[in-house]
Amino acid sequence: MPSFITISAVDAVQLIDDSKPMILDCRDLKDYRASHIEDAMHVHEQLRDSLIKKADKLKPMLIYCYYGHASEHLAQMFNDFGFQQVYSLAGGYAAWKEQHNLTGEV
C-alpha cells in the first residue's frame, strides 16, 4: 500500500493551486485561530473520525502541524484508512510562514 508523501512549502502551494486538496491543520485550536493556511480545517477528534468514514478517499489531502512531525503521524493514519493522495507539509506551518514571509507566533 502506498504511503503518504512529504512535500515542501513550495510544492504545497503548487498542490493547492493545481488540485484544491482538503487542507487539515493539526495544531492546537488557539494557534489555528491565530493563523492558518487559507481554507484549512482544524482537525479535532470528531472531524477526524467523520473524514475517515465519509470523505472522498480519492481527493488529495494536505496535512500540517507546527514543524512537520505530528502531521506525518496523521497523514499515515489517513493513508492506512485508504486515502490515496495524502501529503504532509515538511517543516509544518513554520515552513509555510517562512515561504510566505508571514510574521507572528507559530
Give the C-alpha distances (Å, rounded to integers) separating 85 from 5, 36, 63, 75, 95.
Answer: 8, 21, 11, 10, 21
Which phi and psi angles does 7 have, rounded to 5°?
A: -130, 155
Catalytic pick among 65, 74, 75, 89:
65
Indicate if 65 belongs to the active site.
yes
Cα–Cα distance between 91 and 2 in angstroms, integer?
Answer: 22
Q: How many other CB atoms are there within 10 angstroms of residue 30's CB atom?
A: 8
Residue whose grid cell is 494557534: 31
Residue numbers annotated as active site: 65
